[in-house]
Amino acid sequence: MQVRVGTVGGRAAVATAVAVLLGGCAGAADDAGRTSASASASTRGVAAGETGKKATAVARGTTLGPAGSACELPVSFGLAKGWKPKPVDAEKELAAASKGEDGDLAGELAALFRQGPVTAACEIDAKPAGHIGFLRVWRGKPGGADAGGVLRAFLAAEKGVSEAKYHSFKTGGGVAAVEAEYVKTDELSDGTKKESAFAVVTPDGPVVLHLGGMDTQEHDEMRPAYDLARQTLTLS
């Protein structure tokens, strides 16, 4: 990814374009998209026998993480039906960004692929399932860090995070994990929204799963897919 721009406005435009690649500008979706997503969510709720209340379960599709899956990871977990995973070659993107002539822009691009001690490894798009947002998987290198320390460093590297609440739990596969639920200020709208993330440590390094969303409503509607990952996660 080679980028050449000569103005601050150009840098912002390119950074925004890259953010679209990683789902960072989902807030630009039009009202029709939101209506379609809401209608899809309502249909799923009725199909699940939950007429009149928010669905709390999601149909399971394939398993993500094992060798041969869309994203090969140190962990494996159930993928919500309809969600589309895509591997992210962070090292390739970071190397390309470092060759750019604009140092400030390279730093902005690097921040999209590296956050604290982890780098982007896989993004799972919710749009095919009728939502606007991503479940992202980040990986780190093996070392002595614990799950709580990794997660705190991950959030510390993110702008606009507040009201973080941490707690420990075990995934359905028996893996010790630490989760954070927090509020993030959206740089585009200056509004706030809920986000969630949890971290585990594997022999191949730490893994962080993060759920964002265009806004709090989208986050809550996508939460069942995130919970499915929590409930089924095991070591690969």
Averaged confidence pLDDT in the chain: 78
CA 54 – CA 37 distance, rounded (Å): 14
pLDDT value for 90? 82
Residues above pLDDT 90, as percent of the chain: 58
Residue 5 pLDDT greater than 70, yes or no: no
Residues in the chain: 236
The structural domain count of the chain equals 1
Arithmetic mean of pLDDT, 195-204 = 97
Name the β-bridge partners of 168: 178
Domain membership flag for residue 70: yes
Q: Label residue 101 by pLDDT band (50, 70, 90).
A: low
Domain membership flag for residue 1: no
Q: Which domain holds residue 58?
A: 8-235
Are 65 and 236 in contact by the 8 Å Cβ rule? The answer is yes
Domain membership flag for residue 2: no
Alpha-carbon Rg for the chain, nearest whole angstrom, is: 18
Which residue's structure tokens are 């740089």? 187
Q: Label residue 138 by pLDDT band (50, 70, 90).
A: very high
- CATH assignment of the domain containing 192: 3.40.1000.10
pLDDT value for 18? 40
Domain membership flag for residue 3: no
Q: Which residues contact 12 (CB under 8 A, 6 or more apart)?
A: none
